[in-house]
Amino acid sequence: MKLMLHVAPGIVRKPIVSSVILETKALINIERAKVDAVSGEIVVDVDPEKCGEVKAAFEEKGVKVVLLENPIIKDEDECIHCGACISICPTGTFHFEGSLVVADAGKCVQCGTCVAACPQRALKLVLK
Ranges under pLDDT 70 in the chain: 127-128
Per-residue pLDDT, 109: 86
Per-residue pLDDT, 70: 80
Per-residue pLDDT, 128: 57
Domains and CATH numbers, the chain: 2-67 (3.30.70.260), 72-125 (3.30.70.20)
Per-residue pLDDT, 127: 67
Between CA 36 and CA 13 the distance in angstroms is 9
Per-residue pLDDT, 16: 92
Per-residue pLDDT, 125: 85
Burial class (CB in 10 A: 0-12, 13-18, 19+), 15: exposed
